[in-house]
Amino acid sequence: INTAAVPAEVGFGDTYPKGIENGIQFRNISFAYAGELKILKNLDLTIKSKRITALVGPSGSGKSTIVDLLAGFYLPSSGEIIIDGEPLQSLNLEDWRSTIGYISQEPFLFSTSIRDNIALGMQSAKEEDLMQAAEFAHAADFISALPDGMNTVLGEGGYGLSLGQRQRVAVARAIARQPSLYIFDESTSGLDKETAASVEKTIRTLSEDSTVILITHRETAAAIAHDVY
């Protein structure tokens, strides 16, 4: 049995993640999907706390695999991932994932109001917190300009908003959860120059209090990072 293909729920512990003050370490990590050559081999990687770390490379180079392992979707075939001094497998998986804010290249929005999209899964979210998240994501201005503001109902997949606007709503949704770790996966790819600049500004601001991983295939997009691999 290839342990890399085993869901990571197997063997995870019940330690509650306390945040990321001392960073993340990948120690001698190797991994291969079932039936494939190793994607990662003896990887050593340090992701420092409250900084932007960029993972740069073409498709298939292992960037997304690193994030999949970090989120606990798979177990490494060898090696260890340390989160703020604790082995990843000792953490409660659900609690650990709740500390991660993930923003993809093509964010999915639901056919409901912008408010509900930002507050997704947060039943007790306060209006001022949602608006503050929108402000941080540079989304407040265009939301306020809509006829119904935060109550504007979107079409399926966010129809009615541009890609850049959908991206900023998705960023606001992540910010509203106040995660310890943000993962931006090709999040500025396909955006116009002005919108990309606003998202990059948000990323810089978030790194002042949180740890940020930026996944990109473009070296120019990694220019805002403190550390580049």
Residue 127 among the catalytic residues: no
Close Cβ partners of 218 (under 8 Å, ≥ 6 residues apart): 56, 189
Tokens in use for 58? 């073409």
CB pairs under 8 A, 24+ apart, for 194-198?
Answer: 195/164, 195/167, 195/168, 196/164, 198/138, 198/168
Backbone angles phi, psi at 25, to 5 degrees: -125, 130
9, 80, 94, 186: the catalytic one is 186
Q: Answer whether 224's CB lies under 8 Å from 203's CB.
A: yes
Tokens 């979210």 belong to 125
Between CA 216 and CA 15 the distance in angstroms is: 32
Enumerate the active-site residues: 186
